[in-house]
Structure 1
């Protein structure tokens, strides 16, 4: 709970005193409310301990002090919940909430406090988490949630509510290994992949974790090692330089051409779709007669400068020196399958997935697997094979360790061996 919550005494007639509760939570922002408890002498109040002295003239001191202890604890808890649910709470909401706890609320106070202090269950937290971190930085990333993460959370919340509708309400206390097994089994019955199911578990754990940190529950079963998100490696393709050239050479109608141009900017710069799909003319700069793209990455906020090759420059020239305008990710992904087929990228790629708890292998045409993320993976892999130092590629891609980088690119052991063989040590 932010702010300072205290008791103090106010003198009334005949040197008697009435006990007030005060809540200060900002410069010049203080709420003062009478508790309804009085003492016989102002001098009986212990200012340091903020309690009534245990002396003869105050024969009810122990009862009053116990009441003050209980109410202080309850008010602290309610204020914590208020701050968690609404960072822009008002003085009136604070007053109504405290008066309700003290048993001194009017009908209006009760209505305001009830609305303000609704029950914080798991469903409520899912909604709050999505709404709050859409605009505010998360404690882990220090940035608001990305659009892709928000879409994932909304999908997971929808499925969780479907599960609750079929099986009965699920709250914080119910998130244990028994729930985990039943929920995973329920998702498997709908023929979902392990990675899709794992995404549901990951998001549910994130919501549970933040609710735990706010004191809404004390259930830590979800932190057990066994309560893990199912995961598996799936085929992640990249496009070779020759395949990118085939896409570049295509004559396409306006809509497909627009998607192709955005994709190729990503494939030749390594930018994430959130960046290459939101470039402006201000991001294109000239340094010593050469064109560069310079921007603060949306995900990491780090400023990067990337040289433009001749193909990227030609794409900009098509748009009068501007980048292509943004386009919905799902529309680009839809178009990329058509573009890949037209470019005859028809290699068969076996894809193995666990669907409904069973491992299934199915061949796909490579063009059916092309997405906006293929652009970034293609850049990293092709740059690595071309001999660009790994450190320089990682500076653009944002990978923090070489181990993660090598698991990301599509380079075989032979590719890596060839690259090592170029070192002077082996000459």
Structure 2
């Protein structure tokens, strides 16, 4: 408990004098602070530290004593709080009192990643060009979009190499950004984290990982080929268990080319028949484009086993966690050299489904513009960057073209 005492500035005066409080602090660095209240010494009870019960001060006695009691309680609590936090100094206690008496505005304590970056961007407006702080704002906006889309729960601790791979994949897949543009976002993110380290906000260093780097060329993201998708479909799970639904939802994405934000729309209510062909008809969330997608036999079997209805949706964060275990069970375990020889199953995510559709459809000779119309890609350049076709696979695709056939 703090040692607190009230003092009168001038004990000998016949007029009112200021009431100050004195707090004993370690190393004799005591704090004396004016309460802003006044009383004549003759009306002050020095022993009981309050205004006396006298007719002369009857109108103000209760008010002053009540205020003094509140001040005493506040100082005692502030003293204890600072002591527990090992921050008990004359300066810190004075600051607490300044805030209490509205002499200064209390600085909002920065605790979260988003709070810190908001302040960082606001402060940067005073020292960098407008175009620069606007890029910071855009990066923060993209991180928030990613957080909402993936239910990632961003904080300083979550900014690590796993986040990096997921965020880069999101920017490439959902935002359809080029490597250079993605690199700018990563550069800004690293600046946010470095600044937070320097300002003592966090000592976490996930962004210092050697592979948490600014992209300057195409990143490498996996897709599942048709054989691997078949192995997934063969896995046996209890009907409508979480694993069963996650596997089936992923396959539906892999055979329609739709973003995960549209998987909920792949249901029996959005099926129409055109010339005897059953198709999904839906409006894509991101592009607002209407698409009509023929229902693949694998998807039809998913509906059939449930009596003609789609599997119930699963929280996306849970989907990504389950997918890796499901892919591992399907023995999709080739080492991915471009990703530090990480097993392929450990890189499977919801985004892998759309990439698998685009790549497999392209390999099978489907027209590029037709694939783009279904997948929602805006430009052929972004589409060709997106699909994962090696030079040998590309050669196989065009080998059957009439140009290469002798007459």
Calculate the TM-score normalised by the size of structure 1. Answer: 0.49
Within 5 Å, give how 1:109-188 maps onto structure 2: 123=118, 148=146, 150=148, 182-183=194-195
Residue number in structure 2 paired with 1:309: 296
Q: Residue 336 of structure 2: SS of its match in structure 1? A: strand
State the shift of 1:249 in Å: 1.1
Residue number in structure 2 paired with 1:249: 234
Residue number in structure 2 paired with 1:410: 388
Larger Rg: 2
State the shift of 1:320 in Å: 2.1
User: For the Cα contact (< 8 Å) 1:278–1:326, is it kept in 2?
Assistant: no
Question: Is 1:395 matched with 2:393?
Answer: no
For 1:191 and 1:179, locate their aligned partners in 2 and report how far apart those are by CA, in whole Å: 10
State the shift of 1:295 in Å: 0.4
State the shift of 1:270 in Å: 0.6
Q: Residue 286 of structure 1: SS of its match in structure 2? A: strand
Residue number in structure 2 paired with 1:369: 347
Residue number in structure 2 paired with 1:226: none
Which structure shows the higher strand fraction?
A: 1
User: For the Cα contact (< 8 Å) 1:291–1:313, is it kept in 2?
Assistant: no
Once the two structures are superposed, what CA deviation does each residue of 1:340-377 show, in whole Å capped at 9, x if it has no partner?
1221112111244xxxxxxxxx2211111111111111
User: For the Cα contact (< 8 Å) 1:273–1:373, is it kept in 2?
Assistant: yes
User: For the Cα contact (< 8 Å) 2:117–2:192, is it kept in 1?
Assistant: no
Once the two structures are superposed, what CA deviation does each residue of 1:171-194 show, in whole Å capped at 9, x if it has no partner?
xxxxx9x97794398699334558
Residue number in structure 1 paired with 2:268: 281
Stretch of structure 1 that moved more, 402-411 or 301-310: 402-411
User: For the Cα contact (< 8 Å) 1:284–1:292, is it kept in 2?
Assistant: yes
Residue number in structure 2 paired with 1:238: 223
Task: Output the aligned Cα RMSD.
Answer: 4.1
User: For the Cα contact (< 8 Å) 1:347–1:366, is it kept in 2?
Assistant: yes
Q: How many residues end up aligned between the 2 structures?
A: 243
User: For the Cα contact (< 8 Å) 2:157–2:204, is it kept in 1?
Assistant: no
Q: Go from structure 1 to structure 2 and tell me whether the alpha carbon gap of 1:125 and 1:189 turns closer, same or farther (over 3 Å shift).
A: closer
Once the two structures are superposed, what CA deviation does each residue of 1:207-227 show, in whole Å capped at 9, x if it has no partner?
xxxxxxxxxxxxxxxxxxxxx
Structure 1 residue runs of 5 or longer lacking an equivalent are 1-120, 128-139, 161-175, 199-229, 353-361
Question: Is 1:268 matched with 2:255?
Answer: yes
State the shift of 1:401 in Å: 2.1
Once the two structures are superposed, what CA deviation does each residue of 1:73-116 show, in whole Å capped at 9, x if it has no partner?
xxxxxxxxxxxxxxxxxxxxxxxxxxxxxxxxxxxxxxxxxxxx
Q: Go from structure 1 to structure 2 and tell me whether the alpha carbon gap of 1:422 and 1:125 turns closer, same or farther (over 3 Å shift).
A: same
User: For the Cα contact (< 8 Å) 2:150–2:317, is it kept in 1?
Assistant: no
Q: Go from structure 1 to structure 2 and tell me whether the alpha carbon gap of 1:146 and 1:312 turns closer, same or farther (over 3 Å shift).
A: farther
Residue number in structure 1 paired with 2:11: none
User: For the Cα contact (< 8 Å) 2:258–2:375, is it kept in 1?
Assistant: yes
Structure 2 residue runs of 5 or longer lacking an equivalent are 1-115, 123-137, 159-187
Q: Go from structure 1 to structure 2 and tell me whether the alpha carbon gap of 1:377 and 1:193 turns closer, same or farther (over 3 Å shift).
A: farther
Q: Residue 411 of structure 1: SS of its match in structure 2? A: coil
For 2:191 and 2:229, locate their aligned partners in 1 and report how far apart those are by CA, in whole Å: 47
For 2:194 and 2:254, locate their aligned partners in 1 and report how far apart those are by CA, in whole Å: 42
For 2:193 and 2:117, locate their aligned partners in 1 and report how far apart those are by CA, in whole Å: 18
Calculate the TM-score normalised by the size of structure 2. Answer: 0.51
User: For the Cα contact (< 8 Å) 1:194–1:232, is it kept in 2?
Assistant: no
User: For the Cα contact (< 8 Å) 2:265–2:282, is it kept in 1?
Assistant: no
For 1:336 and 1:413, locate their aligned partners in 2 and report how far apart those are by CA, in whole Å: 29
For 1:240 and 1:377, locate their aligned partners in 2 and report how far apart those are by CA, in whole Å: 10
Residue number in structure 2 paired with 1:7: none
User: For the Cα contact (< 8 Å) 1:336–1:371, is it kept in 2?
Assistant: yes
User: For the Cα contact (< 8 Å) 1:381–1:409, is it kept in 2?
Assistant: yes
State the shift of 1:264 in Å: 0.3
